[in-house]
Amino acid sequence: MFATERGIIVAWNLSYRILTAMKQCWKIFLMMWLVGTQGAHAQAPNLIWIMADDLGYGELGCYGQKVIPTPHIDRMAKEGMRFTHYYSGATVCAPSRCVLMTGLHQGHARVRGNKAAVGLTKADVSVATVLQQAGYRTACIGKWGLGEHDGTEEGLPKHQGFDRFFGYLNHTHAHNHFPDYLWRDDAKEKLPNVVVPVGAKGGGYATKAVAYADDLFADEALKFVSEKSTKPFFLYWSMVSPHANNERQTALGDGANVPDYGDFADKPWPVQDRGHAAMIARLDRYVGRMLEQLQTLGIAQNTLVIFTSDNGPHKESGHDLTRFQPSGPFTGIKRSLTDGGIRVPFIAWWPGKVPAGASAEFVGSFADWWPTAAELAKAKTSTKVDGVSIVPTLLGKSQAPQEFLYWEFHEGGFSQAALYQGRWKGIRRGGPDQTIVLYDTENDIAEKTNVAAKHPEIARKISDYLKQARTESPDWVPEWKSTDAPKKKQQKR
């Protein structure tokens, strides 16, 4: 009997040990599963927005450029998605960047033109703030232009969601590619360049040119993405090439100031042309360095990189536009509401996610970045924006365009433009009741023929939209001018 009892006890102990071991195994399995699923959820993609300054649609090889080789950006397009019908936020710098940061089109944005002493405020919700709150490391490197130490401090990068900043705070300072200082967060960081100052906003030109700002920005950008962290990152890399140094152009007749002319040194061209081409070739190399670094770090497949330009091409360097054809097939340049001023190169690169070698005809604008980034980061936000997420397009799925895209311009008299159904461009100048000019951009890509009389219903629909597209702002009261009146010369930024 005692033997039987001992057997039962032994068997029970063995069963208990087996059950306990199984329980521990299940606990370990469950913990591993939870860690795995949480890790997968936490692996939000890194986001990099690389933006050139005043680079035209036609100034890259992958968009038809024949004179300036851009092999690295061309490779980016081959390995990613090239958009053919994408728009900047505005036809000049500051408002285009405001649209990008806030997801609001120009008629709703805080900054609607290149006016001093208007910046973002604490009431604005930037895309960087949304990403920062979603757990991202954030950095702005390069040109900011939406707040500085002049009464617009609420618009400083640190108050708009950026953990760190290195670059220029205002546009005039950013004209000089060899400045004697740059801002690092709230402090001025001195550079070895010797500068002749022009005006009170940091403008000028170097008589001793040693440190080239975009070289410094490229190094800083590479350093940021290389830092070890468990957090994903958002890098807003805002170059100042190939923008002109307007003050240098006025003083010396050459606004294309670069460290060297590179492959263009022996070209029988004016120095302005050689400098402009060298700027673009240099920025192309920066992009190549970044893509190579992402591959080396092993994070390319979890990083979405966008390359674009803030608006259409400029002419302030004194270079020959006919040589480079910077607007491609479109009419107009920077400060134009025709497509030459606002349609920009736009390339998305994300190995394994964005289809390689794809060409996207989706019609979008900078306002789309805010909701796109928020969706990719799985950010929780109730903020309303004008843009739409282009994640479906990025992943190779079809996506309908928004009914309307909107722009306005405040120099030389107020003017407005809207694109309807991704095809019909309406532009109004001269007054709120003036008849719009209508272009069928599908059949008239250069916007040469006004078809308002042939399509009165479409013209009326766009006209009605323009009357209600914007909210009133004391900083941006429309100053309509007759189209016959002489245009007032504007300060160039």
Q: pLDDT tens for residues 153-190?
A: 999 999 999 999 999 999 999 999 999 999 999 999 99
Assess whether 395 and 435 both reside in one domain.
no
Model confidence at 32, in pLDDT bands (50, 70, 90)?
Answer: very low
Assess whether 108 and 204 both reside in one domain.
yes
Assess whether 371 and 425 both reside in one domain.
no
Using the predicted structure, report yes or no on whether residue 151 has a pLDDT greater than 90. yes
Using the predicted structure, report yes or no on whether residue 8 has a pLDDT greater than 70. no
Average pLDDT rounded to a whole number, residues 207-236 = 98
CA distance 282 to 143: 17
Model confidence at 403, in pLDDT bands (50, 70, 90)?
Answer: very high
CATH number at residue 446: 3.30.1120.10
CB 366 within 8 A of CB 87: yes
Q: What is the pLDDT of residue 43?
A: 82
User: Among the residues of 395-490, which ranges form H helices?
Assistant: 456-468
Assess whether 453 and 388 both reside in one domain.
no
Model confidence at 21, in pLDDT bands (50, 70, 90)?
Answer: low
Partnered with residue 427 across adjacent β-strands are 417, 437
Query: Is residue 2 in a domain?
Result: no
Model confidence at 1, in pLDDT bands (50, 70, 90)?
Answer: very low
The angle at the Cα of 11, spanning 8 to 15, to the nearest 5 degrees, equals 135
Q: Tokens 């004209």 correspond to what residue?
A: 175
Q: What is the pLDDT of residue 482?
A: 86
Query: Is residue 424 in a domain?
Result: yes
How many distinct structural domains can be found in the chain?
Answer: 2
Query: Is residue 413 in a domain?
Result: yes
Query: Is residue 85 in a domain?
Result: yes
CA distance 160 to 126: 6
CATH number at residue 327: 3.40.720.10
More confident residue, 31 or 310: 310
Assess whether 273 and 421 both reside in one domain.
no
For the segment 318-374, what is each residue's pLDDT rounded down to a tens digit?
A: 999 999 999 999 999 999 999 999 999 999 999 999 999 999 999 999 999 999 999
Residue 226 vs residues 229, 277, 291: alpha-carbon distances, Å: 9, 30, 12
For the segment 73-89, what is each residue's pLDDT rounded down to a tens digit?
A: 999 999 999 999 999 99
Model confidence at 28, in pLDDT bands (50, 70, 90)?
Answer: very low
Confidence (pTM) = 0.91
- Asked which of 380, 401, 422 is the last residue of a domain, the reply is 401
Assess whether 282 and 416 both reside in one domain.
no
CA distance 339 to 374: 28
Q: What is the pLDDT of residue 4?
A: 53
Query: Is residue 3 in a domain?
Result: no
Query: Is residue 36 in a domain?
Result: no
Query: Is residue 183 in a domain?
Result: yes
Residue 191 vs residues 184, 209, 220, 366: alpha-carbon distances, Å: 12, 10, 15, 33
More confident residue, 6 or 456: 456
The angle at the Cα of 359, spanning 358 to 364, to the nearest 5 degrees, equals 125
Tell me if the bond preceding 313 is cis, omega within 30° of 0: no
SS3 83: strand
Model confidence at 474, in pLDDT bands (50, 70, 90)?
Answer: very high
Assess whether 134 and 261 both reside in one domain.
yes
Model confidence at 416, in pLDDT bands (50, 70, 90)?
Answer: very high
CA distance 441 to 423: 5
CB 341 within 8 A of CB 272: no
- Asked which of 401, 431, 448 is the last residue of a domain, the reply is 401
For the segment 94-136, what is each residue's pLDDT rounded down to a tens digit?
A: 999 999 999 999 999 999 999 878 999 999 999 999 999 999 9
Residue 400 vs residues 368, 412, 466: alpha-carbon distances, Å: 13, 35, 21
The angle at the Cα of 243, spanning 371 to 474, to the nearest 5 degrees, equals 55
CA distance 374 to 367: 12
Q: What is the pLDDT of residue 116?
A: 77
Per-chain mean pLDDT for the chain: 92
Assess whether 159 and 222 both reside in one domain.
yes
CB 182 within 8 A of CB 156: no
* Residue 263 domain boundaries: 46-401
Assess whether 459 and 373 both reside in one domain.
no
Using the predicted structure, report yes or no on whether residue 488 has a pLDDT greater than 80. no
Tokens representing residue 479 in the block: 């100053």
Assess whether 64 and 75 both reside in one domain.
yes
Assess whether 383 and 448 both reside in one domain.
no
- Asked which of 362, 385, 401 is the last residue of a domain, the reply is 401
SS3 9: helix
- Report the half-sphere exposure of 353 (CA within 13 A, side-chain side): 18
Assess whether 278 and 409 both reside in one domain.
no
Query: Is residue 464 in a domain?
Result: yes
Tokens representing residue 34 in the block: 């939870």
